[in-house]
Structure 1
């Protein structure tokens, strides 16, 4: 960016305590106290600040045009693309991404397991008894009637019923146990691939540390 005449400041990082990891809501909401107060919204999460509008020249320098560059076949991804090239050169990024792919796969497969689908039906029946009709515990947050920009009394009532029904049916424990078994089987059957993922990720982290150290120096 400096070579193109711009100062660049990386976005401020949120604290770990304020940033959800995704794991705590993997099977939907489970915190009854938070549900009573925030519904499906993230309690205590910082409100995103409006970023200053940068010039078109700045945005193009940062992100490029996204179009092919000449006859090389490469896409113009700006300085962001150049940074990725420097960071990832010689590293097998498919291997680095593999654990995340396995994580998504185990989640999808767990939802097709008969024990989980049975728990879903029991949870759905419990919710219907409380006046809320949903097939899956992943459905309420996606409903416009339930979750809008602001927390409503209706949203809180659905969220509380959701957690109570999870407890009554044992859904979270069943779902977690099923997915855990799938993941353990993957760790055993894909040990070689996961070891490569570990090696390539370690290389990526070392490369990032080296780049940052050179910039600080």
Structure 2
């Protein structure tokens, strides 16, 4: 089987699976006609230790070129993945503390639709899932980790293990839950609850609002959109995102100090793979996006 396709990692996805506001991949780009929302601009200290969507795509692109060479050597065709436009990459902390203002106005709590470049890449992954068994075995081996994939990974980074976000995932989840229990965030959440109650809504917190079973519908309902708009209005009036981000930044700095060696090793491994991927793409005389053009 093919390896897992790239997914942006968010603590919201890890810890709050009931929240339907969370997407499992990229999201629509920010139109040039409006300013990015607060959560779109949100950056936290631990972000430095995780692979971004763009970085994951870069490694995939270089690996794909090496896999194509290997597959061609076996007289088999290998179509490389189409690129994702840089502006279509999902911000790392979107909806970390609840609904995002820009998305809520248009889509309520439903995931915003993937932009065309993301759709194309996902479709290409789906096509790989449907490759003939003979091609699958050549590409991935019986285990899903062998074949030309293993060859390409060794050519790319030698004995360096692939990037692993386990440390980041664990610590960012801890940071979110720890910051949620701080006095300042608890106060902000109470203010948010009061604001929502005045608007006629009774939800414990933004996650409960976004994760309501009422929104498990094929289409966005007027009630959902109205609730989401009230939600983000209350987030703004209580400065919930600003307060929570400040509290979590403090927590994350402490966790980084407590886990320096573990995080530095994870980052060093990621950086080695990125450097190797850039060398492969430079050697081919193409950027991470240009090398797809001959495959269209």
Q: TM-score of the superposition, structure 1-length normalised?
A: 0.73
Map of 2:131 onto structure 1: 54
Q: What is the rounded CA distance, in whole Å, between the counterparts of 2:147 and 2:195 in structure 1? A: 52
RMSD between aligned alpha carbons? 3.3
Q: Confirm or deny: 8 A CA contact 2:195 2:234 kept in the other structure.
A: yes
Is 1:39 aligned to residue 108 of structure 2? yes
Instruction: Name the CA shift for 1:83/1:112 in 2 (closer, same or farther; >3 Å).
Output: farther
Instruction: Name the CA shift for 1:216/1:146 in 2 (closer, same or farther; >3 Å).
Output: same
Map of 2:196 onto structure 1: 127
Q: What is the rounded CA distance, in whole Å, between the counterparts of 1:4 and 1:59 in structure 2? A: 13
Map of 2:88 onto structure 1: 18
Query: Rg bigger for which structure?
Result: 1
Q: What is the rounded CA distance, in whole Å, between the counterparts of 2:223 and 2:139 in structure 1? A: 43
The 5 A counterparts of 1:51-130 are: 51-52=126-127, 53-66=130-143, 76-91=145-160, 98-130=167-199
Map of 1:211 onto structure 2: 280
Map of 2:253 onto structure 1: 184
**Deviations for 1:163-192, whole angstroms, at most 9, x for unmatched residues?**
012123332122111101012223344444
Q: Confirm or deny: 8 A CA contact 1:35 1:160 kept in the other structure.
A: yes
Map of 1:152 onto structure 2: 221
Instruction: Name the CA shift for 1:62/1:148 in 2 (closer, same or farther; >3 Å).
Output: farther
Instruction: Name the CA shift for 1:22/1:95 in 2 (closer, same or farther; >3 Å).
Output: closer
> Mean alpha-carbon deviation: is it higher for 36-45 or for 173-182?
36-45
How far 1:76 moved relative to its partner?
4.9
SS in 1 for 2:174: helix
- Which runs of structure 1 show a deviation greater than 6 angstroms over 4 or more consecutive aligned residues? none
Q: Confirm or deny: 8 A CA contact 1:18 1:44 kept in the other structure.
A: no
**Deviations for 1:2-45, whole angstroms, at most 9, x for unmatched residues?**
344422223222212222123232222342x5422222345574
> Mean alpha-carbon deviation: is it higher for 48-57 or for 151-160?
48-57
Q: In structure 2, list runs of 5 or more residues that go unmatched.
A: 1-70, 287-296
Q: In structure 1, list runs of 5 or more residues that go unmatched.
A: 67-74
Aligned residues: 208
Q: Confirm or deny: 8 A CA contact 1:40 1:147 kept in the other structure.
A: no
Q: What is the rounded CA distance, in whole Å, between the counterparts of 2:103 and 2:80 in structure 1? A: 32
Q: TM-score of the superposition, structure 2-length normalised?
A: 0.57
Q: What is the rounded CA distance, in whole Å, between the counterparts of 1:179 and 1:12 in structure 2? A: 36
How far 1:94 moved relative to its partner?
7.1
